[in-house]
Amino acid sequence: MNDSSSGRNIMQEAAISGPTDPELPEVDEPREADIVFLERSEAKSSGIPLFAAHWHLFIPTVVIAVMYSLAWVALALLGRMDTAVARMFVVVMAVGVPLLAVHAFLRFQTIRLQISDAHILCHPGWPKDMPIELAPELITQVVVKRGLSGRLFGGGTVVLHLSTGSNVVIADLGDPDKAKMAIEALMNPAEDPD
Protein backbone atom coordinates (compact mmCIF):
# COMPACT_ATOMS: atom_id res chain seq x y z
CA MET A 1 0.00 0.00 0.00
CA ASN A 2 1.32 3.43 -0.90
CA ASP A 3 0.59 6.15 1.62
CA SER A 4 1.72 9.73 1.33
CA SER A 5 1.04 12.64 3.62
CA SER A 6 -1.52 14.04 1.19
CA GLY A 7 -3.42 10.87 0.50
CA ARG A 8 -3.63 7.35 -0.76
CA ASN A 9 -3.69 6.82 -4.48
CA ILE A 10 -5.30 3.53 -5.50
CA MET A 11 -4.05 3.92 -9.07
CA GLN A 12 -0.50 3.86 -7.75
CA GLU A 13 -1.27 0.92 -5.45
CA ALA A 14 -2.49 -1.09 -8.43
CA ALA A 15 0.66 -0.25 -10.39
CA ILE A 16 2.93 -1.17 -7.47
CA SER A 17 1.19 -4.46 -6.68
CA GLY A 18 1.20 -5.40 -10.34
CA PRO A 19 -2.09 -5.03 -12.17
CA THR A 20 -3.87 -8.25 -13.00
CA ASP A 21 -5.58 -6.62 -15.96
CA PRO A 22 -3.18 -5.63 -18.79
CA GLU A 23 -5.58 -2.83 -19.80
CA LEU A 24 -5.09 -0.93 -16.51
CA PRO A 25 -3.26 2.37 -16.96
CA GLU A 26 0.37 2.81 -16.04
CA VAL A 27 0.87 5.30 -13.22
CA ASP A 28 3.67 7.74 -12.53
CA GLU A 29 5.22 8.21 -9.12
CA PRO A 30 3.02 9.97 -6.54
CA ARG A 31 2.95 13.74 -6.53
CA GLU A 32 1.94 15.66 -3.45
CA ALA A 33 -0.16 18.23 -5.34
CA ASP A 34 -2.38 15.67 -7.08
CA ILE A 35 -5.01 15.31 -4.36
CA VAL A 36 -6.71 18.67 -3.91
CA PHE A 37 -10.36 19.11 -3.04
CA LEU A 38 -12.05 22.25 -4.29
CA GLU A 39 -14.19 24.32 -2.00
CA ARG A 40 -17.91 24.05 -2.70
CA SER A 41 -18.08 27.48 -4.33
CA GLU A 42 -15.02 26.74 -6.53
CA ALA A 43 -16.43 23.40 -7.63
CA LYS A 44 -19.81 24.93 -8.41
CA SER A 45 -18.32 27.78 -10.45
CA SER A 46 -16.01 25.43 -12.39
CA GLY A 47 -18.75 22.85 -13.02
CA ILE A 48 -16.91 20.02 -11.26
CA PRO A 49 -19.33 17.71 -9.41
CA LEU A 50 -18.67 17.79 -5.66
CA PHE A 51 -20.80 15.70 -3.34
CA ALA A 52 -20.74 16.29 0.40
CA ALA A 53 -22.23 14.75 3.52
CA HIS A 54 -25.92 14.70 4.29
CA TRP A 55 -27.35 16.26 7.46
CA HIS A 56 -28.78 12.89 8.58
CA LEU A 57 -25.36 12.28 10.21
CA PHE A 58 -26.73 14.21 13.18
CA ILE A 59 -29.83 12.04 13.68
CA PRO A 60 -28.23 9.49 16.08
CA THR A 61 -26.94 12.31 18.27
CA VAL A 62 -30.34 13.98 18.40
CA VAL A 63 -32.16 10.68 19.11
CA ILE A 64 -29.78 9.82 21.97
CA ALA A 65 -30.06 13.32 23.44
CA VAL A 66 -33.86 13.24 23.31
CA MET A 67 -34.18 9.71 24.73
CA TYR A 68 -31.81 10.31 27.65
CA SER A 69 -33.44 13.67 28.36
CA LEU A 70 -36.90 12.12 28.40
CA ALA A 71 -35.70 9.33 30.68
CA TRP A 72 -34.13 11.89 33.01
CA VAL A 73 -37.35 13.95 33.07
CA ALA A 74 -39.33 10.77 33.84
CA LEU A 75 -37.02 10.06 36.79
CA ALA A 76 -37.43 13.65 37.97
CA LEU A 77 -41.23 13.37 37.82
CA LEU A 78 -41.05 10.12 39.81
CA GLY A 79 -38.82 11.76 42.43
CA ARG A 80 -35.86 9.44 41.70
CA MET A 81 -33.22 12.10 41.00
CA ASP A 82 -30.94 10.76 43.74
CA THR A 83 -30.36 7.38 42.05
CA ALA A 84 -27.30 6.18 40.16
CA VAL A 85 -29.36 5.86 36.99
CA ALA A 86 -30.30 9.55 37.10
CA ARG A 87 -26.64 10.49 37.56
CA MET A 88 -25.69 8.24 34.63
CA PHE A 89 -28.25 9.99 32.41
CA VAL A 90 -26.75 13.36 33.35
CA VAL A 91 -23.23 12.11 32.53
CA VAL A 92 -24.39 10.77 29.15
CA MET A 93 -26.09 14.07 28.34
CA ALA A 94 -23.12 16.13 29.56
CA VAL A 95 -20.28 14.06 28.02
CA GLY A 96 -21.64 11.52 25.54
CA VAL A 97 -23.97 13.75 23.54
CA PRO A 98 -21.37 16.51 22.95
CA LEU A 99 -18.80 13.89 21.88
CA LEU A 100 -21.30 12.37 19.45
CA ALA A 101 -22.13 15.85 18.14
CA VAL A 102 -18.44 16.67 17.57
CA HIS A 103 -17.94 13.33 15.80
CA ALA A 104 -20.95 13.96 13.53
CA PHE A 105 -19.80 17.52 12.80
CA LEU A 106 -16.26 16.42 11.88
CA ARG A 107 -17.63 13.72 9.57
CA PHE A 108 -20.07 16.21 8.06
CA GLN A 109 -17.21 18.59 7.29
CA THR A 110 -14.83 15.99 5.85
CA ILE A 111 -16.90 13.58 3.73
CA ARG A 112 -16.34 14.51 0.09
CA LEU A 113 -16.61 13.00 -3.38
CA GLN A 114 -15.25 15.10 -6.24
CA ILE A 115 -15.41 13.96 -9.86
CA SER A 116 -13.23 15.51 -12.56
CA ASP A 117 -12.54 14.49 -16.16
CA ALA A 118 -9.55 12.29 -15.33
CA HIS A 119 -10.09 10.98 -11.80
CA ILE A 120 -12.32 10.66 -8.78
CA LEU A 121 -11.26 12.08 -5.42
CA CYS A 122 -13.01 10.87 -2.32
CA HIS A 123 -12.57 11.33 1.39
CA PRO A 124 -14.51 8.87 3.54
CA GLY A 125 -14.60 11.36 6.41
CA TRP A 126 -13.14 11.77 9.86
CA PRO A 127 -11.34 9.93 11.55
CA LYS A 128 -9.73 8.80 8.29
CA ASP A 129 -7.25 11.45 7.30
CA MET A 130 -6.23 10.42 3.80
CA PRO A 131 -8.23 11.14 0.67
CA ILE A 132 -8.33 8.54 -2.09
CA GLU A 133 -7.72 9.19 -5.79
CA LEU A 134 -9.15 6.74 -8.31
CA ALA A 135 -8.90 6.36 -12.07
CA PRO A 136 -12.27 5.62 -13.64
CA GLU A 137 -10.69 2.59 -15.36
CA LEU A 138 -10.24 0.90 -11.99
CA ILE A 139 -13.94 1.03 -11.13
CA THR A 140 -15.96 -1.99 -12.21
CA GLN A 141 -19.27 -1.22 -10.50
CA VAL A 142 -20.94 1.57 -8.52
CA VAL A 143 -23.59 0.65 -5.95
CA VAL A 144 -25.76 2.89 -3.77
CA LYS A 145 -26.80 1.54 -0.38
CA ARG A 146 -29.28 3.15 1.97
CA GLY A 147 -30.14 2.52 5.57
CA LEU A 148 -33.37 3.54 7.24
CA SER A 149 -32.35 7.18 7.69
CA GLY A 150 -31.10 7.28 4.09
CA ARG A 151 -34.44 6.01 2.82
CA LEU A 152 -36.33 8.49 4.98
CA PHE A 153 -34.17 11.57 4.44
CA GLY A 154 -32.32 11.00 1.16
CA GLY A 155 -28.71 10.25 2.10
CA GLY A 156 -26.82 7.09 1.34
CA THR A 157 -23.56 5.25 0.80
CA VAL A 158 -21.70 4.91 -2.49
CA VAL A 159 -19.66 1.72 -2.85
CA LEU A 160 -17.07 1.62 -5.63
CA HIS A 161 -16.05 -1.93 -6.58
CA LEU A 162 -12.53 -1.89 -8.03
CA SER A 163 -10.83 -4.21 -10.48
CA THR A 164 -8.14 -4.77 -7.83
CA GLY A 165 -10.70 -6.69 -5.77
CA SER A 166 -11.13 -4.02 -3.09
CA ASN A 167 -13.98 -1.60 -2.44
CA VAL A 168 -14.04 2.08 -1.64
CA VAL A 169 -16.96 3.12 0.57
CA ILE A 170 -18.10 6.72 0.90
CA ALA A 171 -20.87 6.76 3.50
CA ASP A 172 -23.43 9.42 4.35
CA LEU A 173 -23.41 11.32 1.04
CA GLY A 174 -26.15 13.84 0.44
CA ASP A 175 -27.10 12.75 -3.08
CA PRO A 176 -25.69 9.28 -3.72
CA ASP A 177 -27.81 8.64 -6.82
CA LYS A 178 -26.43 11.72 -8.62
CA ALA A 179 -22.93 10.71 -7.51
CA LYS A 180 -23.47 7.24 -8.97
CA MET A 181 -24.70 8.72 -12.27
CA ALA A 182 -21.71 11.07 -12.48
CA ILE A 183 -19.22 8.26 -11.79
CA GLU A 184 -20.89 5.96 -14.31
CA ALA A 185 -20.82 8.75 -16.91
CA LEU A 186 -17.07 9.08 -16.29
CA MET A 187 -16.62 5.30 -16.52
CA ASN A 188 -18.58 5.05 -19.80
CA PRO A 189 -18.09 8.30 -21.71
CA ALA A 190 -20.45 8.83 -24.63
CA GLU A 191 -18.78 7.91 -27.88
CA ASP A 192 -18.45 10.54 -30.60
CA PRO A 193 -20.61 9.88 -33.69
CA ASP A 194 -17.67 10.85 -35.97
121 beta partners:
114, 133
* Per-residue pLDDT tens digits for 9-18: 444 444 444 4
DSSP characters over 63-79:
HHHHHHHHHHHHHHHTT
Distance CA 183, CA 189 (A): 10
Residue 190 DSSP class: P
Asked whether residue 81 is domain-assigned, the answer is yes
Asked whether residue 27 is domain-assigned, the answer is no
Residue 86 structural domain:
58-106
Give the number of domains in the chain: 1
Asked whether residue 40 is domain-assigned, the answer is no
Asked whether residue 183 is domain-assigned, the answer is no
Asked whether residue 88 is domain-assigned, the answer is yes
Asked whether residue 89 is domain-assigned, the answer is yes
The whole-number pLDDT of residue 127 equals 80
Of the candidate ranges 21-25, 75-79, 112-116, 162-166, the one whose mean pLDDT is the lowest: 21-25
Of the candidate ranges 5-14, 125-134, 137-146, the one whose mean pLDDT is the lowest: 5-14
* 144 neighbors 176 (Cβ within 8 angstroms): yes
Asked whether residue 68 is domain-assigned, the answer is yes
pTM value surpassing 0.85 = no
Q: Taking CA 112 as the corner, what is the angle to CA 97 and CA 93, rounded to the nearest 5 degrees?
A: 0
Asked whether residue 16 is domain-assigned, the answer is no
Which stretch, 14-18, 30-34, 46-50, 83-87, has highest mean pLDDT? 83-87
